[in-house]
Amino acid sequence: MSRDGARPLLLLVDDSPANLHVLAAALKADYRLKTATSGADALDLAGRDDHPELILLDVMMPGMSGIEVLRRLRAEPATGDIPVIFVSADTSEQSQLDGLELGADDYLTKPVVASVLRARVRNLLARRRIERQLRLAAHVFEHSGEAIMVTDRDNHIIEVNPAFTRMTGYTLDEVRGRNPRLLASGRTTVEEYAAMWRGLREQGFWQGEMWDRNKDGAIYPKLLAISVVRSPQGEIDFYIASFADIRQQKAAEERIRYIAHHDALTGLPNRLHLRIAIEQAMVACRRSGGEVAVIFIDLDRFKLINDSLGHSIGDGLLVEVAGRLKDSVRASDLVSRLGGDEFVVMLSARDAGRTAANVAKKILERLSQPYRVEGHLLHSTPSLGISLYPQDGDSVEALMKCADTAMYHAKEAGRRQFHFYAESMNRRTRAQLDLENSLHQALAHGELHLQYQPQADITGGRLVGAEALVRWQHPVRGLVPPAEFIPLAEESGLILIIDHWVLTEASRQIAAWRASGLPDVTVAVNLSPRQFIREGLVDTIDGIVAAAGIAPAALEFEITENTMMERAEQAAAVLKALSARGFGIAVDDFGTGYSSLSYLKRLPVSKLKIDRSFVTDIPTDANDVAIATAIIQMAASLGLKVVAEGVETEAQRAFLQAHGCDMMQGYLYSQPLDPDAFAEFVRARAGAAQK
């Protein structure tokens, strides 16, 4: 078909009307025709805007031969590419050679056979269309802005275009014969590749986004389209892939997304981002438990600063507040700005109320410090309101409203404080604050003391050691349970001071017992998670032990399973250093965490302590029986001793002994004892053993 979609236009040139009639009769059914009886007329018609798609040209014409007409056609850019078939009664070889040298496409001799003429014209036009398509394809391949890669049926690269080289840095010589996986970045998943190949098999085409790596190692996103080229028999011949670097597009999308979700002044997430985050947190809590806390923060007397010193100063203050807020929360918490001087912190935790109270205290402290903005010393304090999901509401609107209400209660109560929406939470928080303040006093006034709970061989009842347990004797409340003040000490950071005191006091007591002639007893001391990851722990322990004048073998350190696994590499280094000095190492609360056999085998651990929660209902509870039995068997396979905590009945002891447990600790053997009572206990056991 012609360029305008109609039948192809042919120009018939012959000085004989009879010959033109013969040609026209053979071709008129399939083509549009123009005729010329001279070379000059032929050149005029060929040079017009409506170019013929093929010229049938008589060679022997008076005035201007067909050879000359062809020479002039080829000399003009507009007509130089029109295909020409010579038609002549002159069958001399020289005429044919002259025509072919000038670019004639075919030669017919008179008299013309109609069927042969139609076949020659049809084939020539078809060949020219294919040639044009090939030239166009070659031009597109060569000059396309997209990278193009052709692979064979076995997915080996056979051709790439210049854009491929510009984008990837690889030339054809460097990639020919190689698999396209040489471009893989490692960020595209196995599932994504599987979906791509499934699309190629089923539809013969696939398009999507992938991440690739160029020759310099830079990773970039690309939009990739792959099509399958099949043979007439349906077999795969080639894969043609074209792709474009979409880094700029991705960056623009990310920028638009960032602007839509962040505050322009502070860079904090905005109201929209906050809403989405709260909704996602509530869904996660419904699925796996836990709570969500929303902390609404308003700056006291901000309007006065803004109105008196100007918006520039006010904006500077808001930027400072945003920075301090981010420094006051955990990495997993979200800080957002609603607008004006209103900020919101959202956090998730198993006990979100306790966590929110701790975060609120940090925010109060940080945001109440003076600010210096453009040479002005500014003072502003925050008022905070806290709501909890699911207690205070089951929607974003409800939680925000409750937190806002609680914040206004904090303002009405005198500002620079935080309030929960639920009064019961306020009472609980006040009680925790009172207890925390009392704990500070306990350290200063010597209200803490140690008790020692003996550990025994489970078979013969022989004393094999003891665990040092911290106790708090409050002057008003009496004995405060460890389960009540230890978590508070961990959250407030006081646990570091308490741990140091426990280790120092236990070391001093061991030295005192030995000085009094008491038989050697190894004392186990717990290392809290905070203390365990603290820089210089091993040096601190060395100093305390040296000051007390005791041997490292007199102490055993208990580390919980979770503490040991959360920082595996650091834990391994610390435990190996302690073991190398001669200290014993035991894993406390075993069974409540997620340690692996392969990891335990690499650590210098000598004991596993079965958590008391798995001992309490032995031997009546099938689950506890199964867990305790599995721990004992696993320890045996690793060559470790097992200590069962919380053993209180003879039935428990008998079961544990029958299944291979080595040691026990609990009220069946002895309750925790003060130092003097423990010394008497040891002496009594030693005396009984000598009889």
Ranges assigned E (strand) in 475-630: 478-480, 523-526, 555-560, 584-590, 607-610
Between 378 and 443, where is the model more confident? 378
Q: What are 394-417's pLDDT values in tens digits?
A: 899 999 999 999 998 888 888 888
Residue that is written with structure tokens 């078909």 in the block = 1
Quick one: pLDDT band at residue 4, thresholds 50, 70, 90?
very low
Residue 97 has pLDDT above 70, yes or no: no
Q: What is the mean pLDDT of residues 286-312?
A: 90
Residue 456 has pLDDT above 80, yes or no: yes
Q: What angle do CA 467, 470, 474 make, to 5 degrees?
A: 155
Q: What is the mean pLDDT of residues 167-196?
A: 91
Beta-sheet pairing, 376-378 with 334-339: unpaired
| Longest Cα separation, the chain | 147
Q: Strand, coil or helix: what is 320?
A: helix
Quick one: pLDDT band at residue 646, thresholds 50, 70, 90?
very high
Share of the chain above pLDDT 90, in %: 52
Residue 506 has pLDDT above 70, yes or no: yes
Task: For residue 176, give the DSSP letter.
Answer: T
Using CA atoms, how far residue 618 sits from 60, 588, 648, 649, 670, in Å, is 117, 19, 10, 9, 19
Ranges 137-146, 329-338, 535-544, 642-651: which has the least confidence:
137-146
Say what the pLDDT of residue 670 is: 94
Q: What is the mean pLDDT of residues 537-545?
A: 93
**Selection from 610, 616, 604 nearest residue 590 by Cα:** 610
Say what the pLDDT of residue 90 is: 66
Between 202 and 253, where is the model more confident? 202
Ranges assigned E (strand) in 122-165: 147-152, 157-160
- Cβ(432)–Cβ(351) below 8 Å: no
Q: Which range scores top for mean pLDDT: 245-249, 295-299, 433-437, 610-614?
A: 295-299
Between 562 and 636, where is the model more confident? 636
Q: Which residues make Cβ contacts (< 8 Å) with residue 114, sequence separation at least 6?
A: 22, 25, 26
Say what the pLDDT of residue 1 is: 44
Quick one: pLDDT band at residue 126, thresholds 50, 70, 90?
confident
Tokens of 16: 């004989």
Residue 93 has pLDDT above 60, yes or no: no
Using CA atoms, how far residue 389 sits from 286, 352, 595, in Å, is 10, 9, 32
Ranges 115-119, 250-254, 487-491, 550-554: which has the least confidence:
487-491
Residue 46 has pLDDT above 80, yes or no: yes
Using CA atoms, how far residue 580 sits from 144, 531, 542, 561, 573, in Å, is 67, 19, 12, 21, 11
Tokens of 321: 């507040």
Say what the pLDDT of residue 100 is: 66
Residue that is written with structure tokens 């580390």 in the block = 559
pTM of the model: 0.49
Q: Which residues make Cβ contacts (< 8 Å) with residue 263, sequence separation at least 6?
A: 269, 270, 336, 337, 339
Q: Which domains does the chain carry?
A: 9-140 (3.40.50.2300), 144-250 (3.30.450.20), 262-421 (3.30.70.270), 437-682 (3.20.20.450)
Say what the pLDDT of residue 403 is: 92
Say what the pLDDT of residue 596 is: 59
Residue 96 has pLDDT above 60, yes or no: no
For 629-650, give the secondary structure using H, E and C: HHHHHHHHHHCCEEEEECCCCH
- Cβ(247)–Cβ(221) below 8 Å: yes
